[in-house]
Amino acid sequence: MSAPTTFNAIPGQNDLRAVARDLSFHPVTNDAPKVLSREQIDRFNRDGYLMPFRVFSAAEVLELRSYFDALLARYVAEGKDSYSISSAHLRHGRVWDVLTNPRVVALVSDLLGPSVVAWGSHFFCKMPGDGKTVSWHQDSSYWPLTPSKAVTVWLAIDDADRANACMKYIPGTHVLGHLTYELRENDASNVLNQTVPEVEKYGAPVYVELKAGEAAIHSDLLLHGSEANASARRRCGLTLRYTPGDVRAYMEWDQKGVVVAGAPPAHWSNRPRPTEE
């Protein structure tokens, strides 16, 4: 575990630079997990991730994929791209349903504790041959949350493997604290605008190969990314974001919250299911 650190983002990152954040890993302490094993808790603390988990059956994920196909077609018709469906639970009831699904909530509750707020939902959809990478990064660099205790559930909508540019983790990097990144705002081939350089020194990557309906969970401080999809197959994942109720959100991100476990914290909103869908 790294020593507690406070980080203020560099100028140019909007109001995030004014948010003092604790960007250090806080190990999970749970002597009586309900779904995960104690060995899995220890592994998460050591490696920063867990996988795979079967969340949806083949029939369930087929229905979910059909839903996403129609949703993506709507966004494309509006002139948007396949990465633009972000904070989708604020607008789309079907995504809200996935974010609050008891099977997912049970997994993250064993890592986050009895009070859990869901706040993020973003489709990362790599179209065949789209040429875009997701560079090495830490989620916590982008988020006005403190302290860093959030986790991401990466749910495979399509099969994800090395051939169609599945995600990659570098195990153990979550305990290093906040890592220096370079801004790549003018790189059209990068989905994000931050890149952590020279990651080879931190170890070899692990490929997050998942079947549709399976999920992986990772810490907000874990280094991860993905290569460009050079295959003829799409690779879509839905990222679901959760945090303990004691975490504070700034820049109005508290308004994205949906309380999925425990009593509603006073400093988070509790958004109802959208009426659409």
234-271 pLDDT, tens per residue?
A: 999 999 999 999 999 999 999 999 999 999 999 999 99
CATH architecture for residues 6-261:
Sandwich (2.60)
Counting Cα atoms < 13 Å in the Cβ hemisphere of 172 gives: 7
Residue 14 burial (C-beta neighbours within 10 Å; 0-12, 13-18, 19+): exposed
pLDDT at position 183 is 80
Find out whether 212 and 156 touch, Cβ atoms under 8 Å: yes
pLDDT higher than 80, residue 67: yes
CA 205 to CA 148: how far, in whole Å? 22
Domain spans, the chain: 6-261
Give the pairing of strands 116-126 and 235-244. antiparallel
pLDDT at position 5 is 43
Residue 198 burial (C-beta neighbours within 10 Å; 0-12, 13-18, 19+): exposed
Q: What does pTM read for this prediction? A: 0.92
pLDDT at position 11 is 34
pLDDT at position 80 is 93
Q: Stretch 90-100: mean pLDDT, rounded?
A: 97
Residue 262 burial (C-beta neighbours within 10 Å; 0-12, 13-18, 19+): middle
CA 230 to CA 219: how far, in whole Å? 28
